[in-house]
Structure 1
Amino acid sequence: MRVAMIGTGYVGLVSGACFADFGHVVTCIDKDPSKIERLERGEIPIFEPGLDDLVARNVREGRLFFTLEGAQAIKDADAVFIAVGTPTRRGDGHADLSYVYAAAEEIAGLIDGFTVVVTKSTVPVGTGDEVEAIIRKTNPNAQFAVVSNPEFLREGAAIEDFKRPDRVVVGTDDERAQAVMRDLYRPLSLNETPIVFTGRRTSELIKYAANAFLAMKITFINEMADLCEKVGADVQSVAKGIGLDKRIGAKFLNAGPGYGGSCFPKDTIALVKTAQQYGAPTRLIETTVEVNTARKKAMAEKVAEAMGTRELTGKTIGVLGVTFKPNTDDMRDAPSLDILPALQAMGAKVQAFDPEGAKEAAHMLAGVEFKSGAYDAAEGADALVILTEWDQFRALDLDRLKSLLKTPVVVDLRNVYKPAEMERHGFTYASIGRG
């Protein structure tokens, strides 16, 4: 089948490359000349394990193309995917749908014959109706169906998630559109992947509901971690004890400094705003947003407490990891964006290392000195903070680390190390929820 993918951001590029790897002919379209030039040179503008090889292979085999001018690709396509950004709108917290609606207008004047228009972007309930209205108004004679097909890709594991998903959700009542979507995802039938067909509005809500539930789960275990510290319990054992219950499950029960990234912060706020708009407030999600925001801000105080002082003037703090999670260079709403400036406001000098995120972070974290390695970040520091659990931080040479630090204080916000081991090596060690 022929696919046009509008947007070459995280979702569009991964989805386009994976569809091409399924055997479809995919053209990825973007308005950014520099991004298209880089992609045509074989440079991947984001860090995602395995994506560079996947893109290169499918370009080489003639199934994946990149272009600024997508008119012909849209005209020839069996399915046109809208995979543009939907950032939080300034001022009111709603999702900014301007890029989605602009794409719909562009598509309307170009489709030729029956075409399935798929919203892959994360959009509030009712967006598909508006996209359909825009296309119908712009081109009353167009033959098309608008379908919701939300993505459930974890950064750092996106290719695996696309090719071996828990489920595929498709929102449409149009039988012709259902047939096209079945053909697009037919390669997944070998894995017996469930394809859930629903109404379009239901599909749109499934995406938000899924992310909001996971955000609540993270926030719940973080609150349990705070309680564990007060009563002398171990949050990791609590998480294991409840996670073995199949009704709960073990995933997303890792206590830490709060959730971040491109999805959870944006989607929880958008769901809250949508619910308020329809007069059905989501109190649990509202509280989740509030608690998570407060948690990220409180982590700087935790670092100061471990150092035995609230006055950090003249102190140097080393930081390992600044991206919101490992195996990505994504800095969107990363906890580091709250924690590091708070440490600086308390008077500290901050030096940090991140395997992939330093270039992006340097634009967002003024005054932070970025180092070339983990041990460089620790050298001369009065305390070391483990903020992102990259694999290369899991087996540090503790004796070397101690020799480099000015004072042997380690604040482990991801519970990478065992308290007994750190104490045995002579560290003052603080972690999350292990009272």
Structure 2
Amino acid sequence: MEVDMRIVMIGSGYVGLVSGTCFADFGHEVVCVDKDQRKIDALNEGIMPIYEPGLEQLVAKNVAEGRLKFTTELESAAPFADAVFIAVGTPSRRGDGHADLSYVYAAAKEIGQLIRPGAVVVTKSTVPVGTGDEVERIIRSVRDDFEFYVASNPEFLREGAAIDDFQRPDRVVIGVNEPEAAHVLNEIYRPVTTNSAPMLQMARRASELTKYAANAFLATKICFINEISDLCERVGADVGDVALGIGMDKRIGSSFLNAGPGYGGSCFPKDTLALLKTAQDHDASLRIVEAVVAVNDSRKRGMGRKVVHAMGGDVHGKSVALLGLTFKADTDDMRDSPSLAIVQTLQDAGISVRAYDPEGMANARTMMTEVTFCEDPYDAMTGTDCAVIATEWAAFRALDLQRTKDLLKEPLMVDLRNVYSRAEMEGHGFRYHAVGH
């Protein structure tokens, strides 16, 4: 495929690296820029800073074909770019919960000194409404001698399925205030829009809000089904049946209706909080989103209490095998993972924790104390009083149940992801506790 556009991606974290790599795979010439020299050195050696299925191979392919490069030097690439994407972190700001936009604004200031006439600066980072206006003001304060454009292009990537989401999206959202910016972004995304993915063009502020609204709605679905699962346990219903029954309604849909220990990761926790702060700044009430944040926070420690209850309540000196640490399968992301609150709750009750996760152990070691990290799930379960499935990794769906039973002191499993069926587990002689049935 012929090179169509020259793109600079500022930030080589999750969003920047996946987006930049996929743009390169579309045939564009992409330079990913990051201030972290160690990260850039590792990427140039083919070592990924994150775990994402298929990413390492796709990076290697596009580097070998000359379309993808990594550098710390923005000045070597930005002056030649048709589009400069800002894909830096916007974590919750300590103290007040607002999105920390310092990295976005610092990038904007650097860009302003380097871009060429007619270039489009695109915020790929998740940012509150009005951020694009400030980015434009910052750039114009250092670059008022020619025309440039600022656009919004939020990402809708699921960790663990990010490449497929980028290359075959439900939709591409662009927020533009000028036709020139729309033209550049349409050219960049032509490979996906020609395959019938709709391009939704709207004003910049609407685009910025769309990202937060989408994440808040999905978080609401998770919290809704989790509360329904608690009711199911009390009335003798199966939340799986309920989820199936409501999910087949096309107005609702089946995604994000899997009962579990609550949402975590890099997006939903910070984005719901940032949306609330934006609403407060504009004197608007978002009572539903407020409830979602509160319900999810209490849910995580509630799952720890569920394990304590399953173990009989008198648990001091007992041990648990925690299978899964990341907030979901197929990622190494530990940010706001339910396992953090679960471990703390178990430890507060006097339970010692042995843990295993296929990809998240390195990150978990920096966030958890007094946890024994094990070589595999069977190592974790050896001599413990209870096995707890906290993340739905495929490896935990195919456990040797007889071996599992033999390794545990008691045949007790608490399945917080509903990986197994009650009939199967009880047929193998387990005392089985799931979520919502």
Could you state the TM-score of these two structures normalised by the residue count of structure 1?
0.99
CA distance in 1, matches of 2:181, 2:375: 51
1:167 — aligned with what? 171
Match of 2:64 in 1: 60
1:158 partner amino acid? A
TM-fit CA distance, 1:297 = 1.1
- CA drift of 1:431 comes to 0.4
The code of the aligned residue for 2:229 comes to: A
Which of residues 189, 195, 202 in structure 2 aligns to 1:185?
189
Give the CA deviation at 1:193.
0.7
Residues 1:46 and 2:50 are matched in the alignment: yes
CA displacement 1:145-199 (0-9 Å, x = unmatched): 1000000000000000000000000000211111100000000133211000000
Residue 397 of structure 2 corresponds to 394
Q: Would you say the 8 A contact 1:243–1:253 is kept in 2?
A: yes
Mean CA deviation greater in 101-110 or 189-198: 189-198
Q: What's the counterpart of residue 104 of structure 1?
A: 108
Q: Which residue of the other structure, out of 403, 407, 411, is the alignment partner of 2:406?
A: 403
Correspondence for 1:214:
218
Q: Give the equivalent residue in structure 1 for 2:358.
A: 355
Could you report, residue by residue, the CA deviation over 1:247-283 in whole angstroms, capped at 9, with x for unpaired residues?
0000000000000000000000000110011011200
Which letter does structure 1 place at the counterpart of 2:403? Answer: R
Report the equivalent of 1:373: 376
* Alpha-carbon distance in structure 1 between the residues aligned to 2:278 and 2:177: 23
Measure, in 2, the Cα distance between the counterparts of 1:264 and 1:31. Answer: 26
The aligned runs of 1:6-405 (5 Å cut-off) are 6-309=10-313, 311-405=314-408
Give 2:135's aligned amino acid. V
Percent same amino acid at aligned positions? 63
The alignment partner of 2:224 has SS state of: helix
Render the CA deviation track for 1:300-340: whole Å, top value 9, x for unaligned.
Answer: 1100111112x322111001000000000000100011110
C-alpha separation between the residues in 2 aligned to 1:350 and 1:38? 33
Residue of structure 1 in register with 2:426 after alignment? 423
Moved over 3 A (4+): none
Quick one: distance in 1 between partners of 2:321 and 2:146? 59
State whether residues 111 and 142 of structure 1, in contact with CA within 8 Å, keep that contact through their aligned partners in structure 2: no
CA distance in 1, matches of 2:82, 2:207: 21
- Secondary structure of the residue aligned to 1:369 is strand
Q: Which blocks of at least 5 consecutive residues in structure 2 are unaligned?
A: none
> Which whole-Å CA distance do the structure 1 matches of 2:424 and 2:416 have between them?
16
Distance in 2 (alpha carbons) for counterparts of 1:189 and 1:265: 31
The one-letter amino acid paired with 2:387 is L
SS of 2:77's partner is: helix
Cα distance in 1 for residues equivalent to 2:192 and 2:403 = 48
Q: Does 1:412 align with 2:399?
A: no
Contact 2:193–2:199 under 8 Å retained in 1: no
Distance 2:7 2:72 in 1: 15
SS at match of 1:191: coil
Q: Distance in 1 between matches of 2:285 and 2:126?
A: 20
Q: Is the 8 A contact 2:321 2:380 kept in 1?
A: yes
Structure 1 residue matching 2:194: 3-state secondary structure: helix
Q: Deviations over 1:217-250 (max 9, x none)?
A: 0000000000000100000000000000000000
SS in 2 for 1:322: coil
Deviations, residues 39-63 of structure 1 (Å, cap 9, x unaligned): 0111011000000000000000000
In structure 1, runs of 5+ residues without a counterpart are: none
Deviations 1:64-118 (A, max 9, x none): 0000111121100000000000000001110000000000000000012210000
Distance 2:134 2:59 in 1: 33
Q: Deviations over 1:338-375 (max 9, x none)?
A: 11011011111100110000011011011111111111
Taking a change above 3 Å as real, the CA distance of residues 127 and 106 of structure 1, as seen in their structure-2 partners, is: same
Instruction: Compute the RMSD of aligned alpha carbons.
Output: 0.7
User: After superposition, what is the alpha-carbon deviation per residue over 1:412-432, rounded to whole angstroms, capped at 9, x for unaligned?
Assistant: 000001111111111111000
Q: Output the CA distance in 1 between the equivalents of 2:224 and 2:345.
A: 24
Amino acid at match of 2:56: D
Is the contact between residue 108 and residue 142 of structure 1 (CA under 8 Å) also seen in structure 2?
A: no
When normalised by structure 2's length, the TM-score is: 0.98
